[in-house]
Structure 1
Amino acid sequence: MHPTRVCRLGALRLSLLKRTQVRGSYRRLIHSGAQGNDQRKAYANSKIFKVSDEVREATETGKPVVALETTIYTHGFPYPDNVALATHLESVVRNNGGIPATIGVLNGVARVGLSEKELTELVNPSSNTELMKVSRRDLPFIAGLGLTGRKINGGTTIAGTMLLADLANIPVFGTGGLGGVHRGGENTMDVSADLQELGRTNVTVVSSGCKSFLDIPRTLEYLETQGVCVATFSDGRQGDIDFPAFWTRESGVPSPMVIQNAEEAAAIIHASELFRSNGMLFANPIPQEWALEKSKIDHAIEAAVTEAAEKGFHGHRNTPFILSRIKELTDGKSVPANRALVESNVAIATRVAVELAKLRRPELNTSALHTPVISASEFRYTKEAALYGVGKNESPETTSRPARTIPVQESSQTVKITSPQQKVDILVAGAVAVDVSCNYTPFDKSVDPQPLIHTSNPASISETTGGVGFNVATAAQYASKSNSVQLCSLIASDTAGQLALSAMDEFGLRSDGITTLAADANTKTAKYVAVNTTGNDLFVAMADMDILGGARDDFQLQWQNKIDSAKPKWVVVDANWHPSSFKQWITAASAAGAKVAFEPVSTAKSQVLFPQPSTAG
């Protein structure tokens, strides 16, 4: 290569690098609002802070991400119910069009985007690793000790989750109930760190208000002093709206502000970024069918709070004791109500994140994402520079390409909270898949109707949603409008999975039996490819059903509770499941008193489940 050209190309690259760095620094400074925040965010994926690949890619490309805490799993629900709840809440996020980012501390490392394996390790009581409840104050302690070799696990509180979510550039967080000013807090100074975190960390929290046993008026006063915007979703109500009280929709305390829907919430977040560097609280009332009777829950709260004071439960020991006593005093009714409100909050938080991503999408297409423009005085034409797409007689300005539009994962799906009285007549356990039909269309219509082998063939190709489980569920729903139908299946967070959810919505099928797994090289929504003759008769087909056919050990976590709550009259199981899962479906259905039907799918798959007995010797 000519030395002059090497020099000029080197200068071109250096100029590109400098301009990219300057623009990148400016964008990060604007995004974080302060240089200190920018420096802290530079520690992402260090020895003490890890962001999963899925979450990092989503935040970098403008996809909607929702933060989820882990204290609810480590200190709120027993094992393995906590793993089942965590998996379900992540599925709620995915079904509503978002990317879940479950946050916790594992072996001394703060993690944003825990995998299923990591989450199970975090909450499993058989683990010998020390477990803590982690707020802002605890993060340096637990991470620092991790550097010395002392490995500690931690479930993050709202405050701890907000801090880590902000470091990972996640603006929306769905959870259960906020901490607040405890009763008598004017004397004890027992005030949750959640409130101050909202006053200084740029994350919006969606919760069912604060926990009912707190001093709600003083909590709202404290948030007002911190400059925190507090608004309550109207949920179809008109006029003045109460700030919710966790297990009840009314608290007797008016909400400072009222919002109608996720679009308004997202618009407020979007607009507020010019004025603030703190958080916001959007209160979502518990679904009506799960709300507890106010007089009864108030009585239980009074008794639990009094008992806690008499027994000396203060600080971080206070809330777990009170929640445990309320569970006992309500005969366990507070627990399913807690699950329902968390699920509802996570669902609406995801819809807010989706709407926010839509509003931010134009900003992602600004010139900051373009190839930097180089002035004519800085540019010298060389053959090597031509490889970068700049012609000899072109100015760099004319070669700047428009920014690529970054897609935002959207979904019309809304996860509905199943009423405690709602049962299922027919439960179908089987595959939902994307069917790809390739109909052979030869140029010469007089040739053999079958496609040629070992070469490509002209065809008309179409995609539809199918799968044996989906087809059976759809047929059952059409056959009898009086019978309720639920499809239980697995999909991945890929395009095919979104297509399947949209089709279920179009056909009126419930989606609360669908579990969405994070897509990767080994986890994909099922797909069936059929190659047909000119007469649309099947010539050959291929099916990738590994998402169901692989061996899994989580039947009790994923499916047992669905059968128990549905109490179906019929359970239809197809042959796409792994033999161990298939056996568990049959056993669980029989134990629930349901009639069982088998869909064989194909001869090959049926023989795997029911191998012919050996006739040897």
Structure 2
Amino acid sequence: MWSHSRHLFHKRCLVQRPLVRRLTTNNAFFQISDEVRNAVKSDQPVVALESTIYTHGYPFPENVALAEELESVVRDNGCVPATIGIVDGVAKVGMTAGDINILGSSVGDPRTLKLSRRDLSYACGMRLVNKSFHGGTTIASTMILAHMAGIKVFATGGLGGVHRGAENSMDISADLTELGRTPVAVVSSGSKSFLDIPRTLEYLETEGATVATFADGRAGPVEFPAFWSRDSGVKSPLTIYSETEAAAIIYAQSCLGLKSGLLFANPIPETSAIPKSQMDRIIEKAIEEANAAHASGKDNTPFILSKIRELSGGASLPANRALIVSNVKRGSIVARELAQLERSGGISTSSVTLPSAAIPKLPSSTIEPVTQTSRSDHRISPEPKPAPPRDILVAGALAIDYSCDYAPFNIPKDGETDISPHLRTSNPARISQSLGGVAHNIAYAAHLLGSSVRLCSAVGDDLPGRMAEDHLRRENMDCALNVHPGARSAQYMAVNDANKDLYVAMADMAILETGSQSYNEASKEFKEKWLPKLDATRPKWLILDGNWPAPMLHHWLSAGSSKGAKIAFEPVSVAKAVRLITALTKPPAKSASPSNSESPLLPFLPNPSLHLITPNASELHALHSAATSSGLFEDAQWFSVLDSFNLPSVGSQARLGRALGQAAEGLISEGIPQMSIQMLPVCETILTTLGPRGVLLATTIPEGDRRLDDEGFAKYIVGRVQNGHGTGVGGVYMRHFAPSEVLGPEDQVSVNAAGDTFTGAVVAGLVGGKSIEDAIYLGSQAAALTLRHVGGVGDLKTLR
């Protein structure tokens, strides 16, 4: 008896062990892409995506386009996508574009199967006898393969369930049993409403699978969603209010060693939902026809879906697409939050506590319509509507950003020099995608800090352009975009070393340069495309980036000054910084329009064209060199203004040393404070960003400013103007600001948007009434948050 009991005990333990083990190496039937493998190994967030939606849901080539879009959504949210499917009998986790095209183009081929758990060994094993199959993986099989690869979060459309009449047919989806034995978190829009949802939830409870529904902005307990409808009439077992809460549940599940899965139900976006009452009528009719046609088993769901599409007049298709995109975005945020928890040992670094939607519901006027478009999908109306004024207008580049972080197999130790990628060969890297562009980053930073801001830029009539527009809507950004048919949307590729410092970057910003290389061309384009946006915005501050060609930059500066806006300039790069000097000093062609027959812009005090520039040290050198070469520093008016600063010819370094304190020696030897002072007749305030060394402020302050008489500021006043000298300037104020915190390489996730974030935060602070000192501190804090953030500008709302 004892022996028999012991035998049963051991048998029970064997059954309870996980039936899926993680595979760390590829084999003849299973392959993980290098990108996914490296991401899992380095604890970067990864999101699994299924492939049945491509093989049995959408026709070719729409399915391939959808696959590209969903992978882009994952990358936009700082994660690595891992599309999973079977190609020629090999299970692939992290399918290449070629794999997806092969699978997508095989729709309708009898060799292309819909694969659940039971089908995997068949589809893979047949390749050994020269019978190769392709396959789209269902939720069950995707969970299995994701778990084998070490992926913990999976985003999909709708979950299978218990079919109506299952008490007789025993028709129960394998998705449910998989949730009972494979520890992967699934983000879906609940179950399709032609299923028996109450019994589905009962079955999941029996299987031990956690089921929770995102409140999505609603208060209190909510209903489990029914795919096309936000409600099903059945109360959800649990309600959660943020992606952070979902990540915390996954983290706890893993730490407890529980081997069941988790289901996070994400209601379809409200704007795309079909009312439950309407869907109930459609579904009842579809089920009647399925029963009449004896469509059962694996044929039941495709038959009913086809009938629903027909009976809804096609309305179910856009709803399908909206919910899968919403689920993938929400799943990506969950994966990102989970990765942060795992890296911090369970200490949440997120401030997300509000019950907000994954994709916020936006007012119809969020994005100002474009002035021209060749698109027929009407996602952006071609008819411009009046837009309210904004405090800040940011004009410049909007781009899709790719960040490639060099990730050597052997992580460099302190003091080792092999931290840079090697030329003329392939390098291991972690690659992420996000919405960027200097102007976008600046505007988004100011937006997150609560400023009234509008982004003014251009996109192409292409897939990156559509992705950018969609992302801007999700950011709730106010934009005035011009669509250029036939042009490429801007794209930026940054290659960073192992410390995440920029190694080399490539930028395609040609869309801002088309037709604006001469003053004649620029004048016409500016008046037609850009001046109306400036007039409509009536900003207090106009921020320009160096992606504009000099002729167009000239017109922006001239128009902004004439309308009384304060103007800031972000140089972007060493090569583009010099465009500012050309725009300020080169006279327009005499043959241009009468408005362009003027002399060069006179940038000198008391009426400068510029109020703020934010170069780094290299860009400041470039600006100074260009000003020297252009003869700017030989101009009598420039010399008169500089002379009025009353800087001593002897002992100036000692005065600078007192102002700069401990940072003085290095900065003075590099000539940074000296160059800043020489540029002040051109620009009121120069903030030179110095990376981990902080920021150098050089600015003129007006007559009567309290700082001129405050003993606490005396050491920072390096020059005093006698009686204003006709400029209204009382003195030159120089001060070094240490960074709000110094981050080590291990804390820096991305450096690409830190400088842009600083500029946007500083101007947001000034618009909000902060002093220049407080605005710089705000900018430093914001830049630090961005350095810690995966992909683009960090979450700055905590700084409001």
Distance 1:120 1:337 in 2: 24
Note closer, same or farther for the CA distance 1:294–1:173 as it changes in structure 2 (3 Å cut).
same
What amino acid is aligned across from residue 231 of structure 1 in structure 2? Answer: A
Deviation, 1:419, is 8.9
Measure how far apart 1:428 and its partner are: 8.6
Alignment partner, residue 344 of structure 2: 362
- Of 145, 157, 162, 2:138 maps to 157
Q: Following TM superposition, by how much is the alpha carbon of 1:315 offset from its aligned partner in structure 2, in angstroms?
A: 0.8
CA shift for structure 1 position 272: 1.6
The 2-side partners of 1:223 and 1:310 are apart by: 30
Q: Kindly state the Cα deviation for residue 130 of structure 1 after the two structures are TM-superposed.
A: 1.4
Closer/same/farther in 2, CA of residues 256 and 291 from structure 1, 3 Å limit: same
Deviation (angstroms), 1:275: 4.6
Instruction: Summarize deviations over 1:466-490 as a string: whole Å, max 9, x none.
Output: 479999999xxx9996999877778
Q: 1:317 to 1:127 in 2, by over 3 A?
A: closer
Sort the Cα spacing of 1:275 and 1:484 in 2 relative to 1 into closer, same or farther, 3 A.
same
The answer to whether the 8 Å contact 2:443/2:453 transfers is: no
- Cα distance in 2 for partners of 1:362, 1:188 equals 48
Q: Render the CA deviation track for 1:389-444: whole Å, top value 9, x for unaligned.
A: xxxxxxxxxxxxxxxxxxxxxxx997668899988434799872789xxxxxxxxx
Name the CA shift for 1:491/1:330 in 2 (closer, same or farther; >3 Å): closer
How is 1:588-603 mapped onto 2 (pairs within 5 angstroms)? none
- Aligned ranges 1:270-285 → 2 under 5 Å: 270-273=251-254, 274-285=256-267
What is the alpha-carbon distance in structure 1 between the residues aligned to residue 199 and residue 462 of structure 2? 46
Q: 1:346, 1:126 → 2: CA distance?
A: 23
What residue number does 1:341 align with? 323
CA distance in 1, matches of 2:17, 2:117: 19
Say yes or no: does 1:98 pair with 2:43: no
Report the Cα distance in structure 2 between the residues aligned to 1:82 and 1:418, rounded to whole angstroms.
27
| 2:58 equivalent in structure 1 | 77
* 1:544 lines up with 2:526 in the alignment: no
Q: How does 1:574-593 map to 2 (within 5 A)?
A: 575=514
Residue 274 of structure 2 is aligned to residue 329 of structure 1: no
Matches within 5 A, 1:429-468: 432=399, 466=437
Which of these residues, 97, 101, 110, is aligned with residue 120 of structure 1? 101
Which residue does the alignment assign to 1:56? 37
1:544 corresponds to which letter in structure 2?
M
What pairs up with 1:66-465 in 2 under 5 angstroms?
A: 66-125=47-106, 130-273=111-254, 274-363=256-345, 424-426=369-371, 432=399
Does the 8 Å CA contact 2:282/2:308 hold for their aligned counterparts? yes
Distance 1:239 1:202 in 2: 28
Counterpart AA for 1:425: V
Three-state SS of the structure 2 residue aligned to 1:250 is coil
One-letter amino acid of the structure 2 residue matched with residue 96 of structure 1: N
Query: Residue deviations 1:240-269, cap 9 Å, x none?
Result: 211111111111111111111111111111
**Pair 1:481–1:423, CA change in 2 (3 A):** closer
* 1: CA distance, partners of 2:493 / 2:331: 28
Gaps spanning 5+ residues in structure 1: where? 1-32, 366-411, 436-463, 514-522, 529-541, 550-571, 577-598, 604-617
- Residue aligned with 2:492, SS: coil
Q: Which 10-residue stretch deviates more, 42-51 or 329-338?
A: 42-51
Structure-2 residue corresponding to 1:558? none
C-alpha distance in 2, partners of 1:85/1:188? 34
Q: Is the 8 A contact 2:79 2:336 kept in 1?
A: yes
Query: For residues 179 and 484 of structure 1, do their structure 2 counterparts lie closer, same or farther at Cα, with a shift above 3 Å needed?
Result: farther
For 1:419 and 1:337, the matched residues in 2 are separated by 19
Separation in 1, partners of 2:201, 2:212: 11
> 1:526 and 1:192, CA in 2 relative to 1: closer, same or farther beyond 3 A?
same
Specify whether residues 128 and 46 from structure 1 end up closer, same or farther in structure 2 by C-alpha distance, changes over 3 A only: same
Contact map agreement 1:433 1:527 (CA 8 A) in 2: no
C-alpha distance in structure 1 between counterparts of 2:266 and 2:97, whole Å: 27
Residue 49 (structure 1) shift: 0.3
Same amino acid, percent of matched pairs: 47
Alpha-carbon separation, structure 1, partners of 2:52 and 2:106 = 14
Q: CA deviation at 1:296?
A: 1.4
Amino acid at match of 2:133: I
Structure 2: which 5+ residue stretches go unaligned? Answer: 1-15, 348-355, 375-396, 403-434, 446-450, 484-489, 496-503, 516-546, 552-800
Query: Secondary structure of 1:137's match?
Result: helix
- Larger relative CO (CA 8 A, sep 6+): 1 or 2? 1
Q: 2:549 & 2:457 partners in 1: Cα distance?
A: 23
In the alignment, residue 91 of structure 2 is paired with which amino acid? Answer: A
- Which moved further from structure 2: 483-492 or 302-311? 483-492
Q: Closer, same or farther in 2 for the Cα pair 1:423/1:84, shift >3 Å?
A: farther
Residues 413, 209 of structure 1: CA spacing in aligned structure 2 closer, same or farther, 3 A cutoff?
closer
Query: 2:183 is paired with a residue of what secondary structure?
Result: coil
CA distance in 2, matches of 1:482, 1:51: 40
Contact 1:67 1:172 in 2 (8 A): yes
2: CA distance, partners of 1:208 / 1:276: 24
Q: Give the letter aligned to residue 263 of structure 2.
A: L
Separation of aligned partners in 2, 1:155 and 1:424: 39
Q: Which runs of 4+ in 1 moved over 6 A?
A: 126-129, 417-423, 427-431, 467-474, 478-492, 599-603
Say whether the 8 Å CA contact 1:426–1:483 is kept in structure 2: no
SS of the residue aligned with 1:232?
strand
Who wins on radius of gyration, i.e. which is larger?
Answer: 2
> In the alignment, what sits opposite 2:381?
none
Alpha carbons 1:526, 1:545 under 8 Å: kept? yes
Listed one character per residue, the Cα deviations across residues 195-233 of structure 1 (whole Å, up to 9, x for unaligned) are 000000010111111111000001011001101111111
What letter corresponds to residue 189 of structure 1 in structure 2? M
Quote the Cα distance in structure 2 between the aligned partners of 1:82 and 1:347: 18
Normalization by structure 2: what TM-score? Answer: 0.47
Relative to structure 1, the CA distance from residue 186 to residue 112 in structure 2 (aligned partners, 3 Å threshold; closer, same or farther) is same
Change (3 A) 1:415 1:218: closer
| Counterpart-to-counterpart distance in 2, 1:95 and 1:191 | 36
Distance in 2 (alpha carbons) for counterparts of 1:304 and 1:336:
19
Match of 1:525 in 2: 492
Q: Report the number of matched residues.
A: 417
Calculate the TM-score normalised by the size of structure 1. 0.59
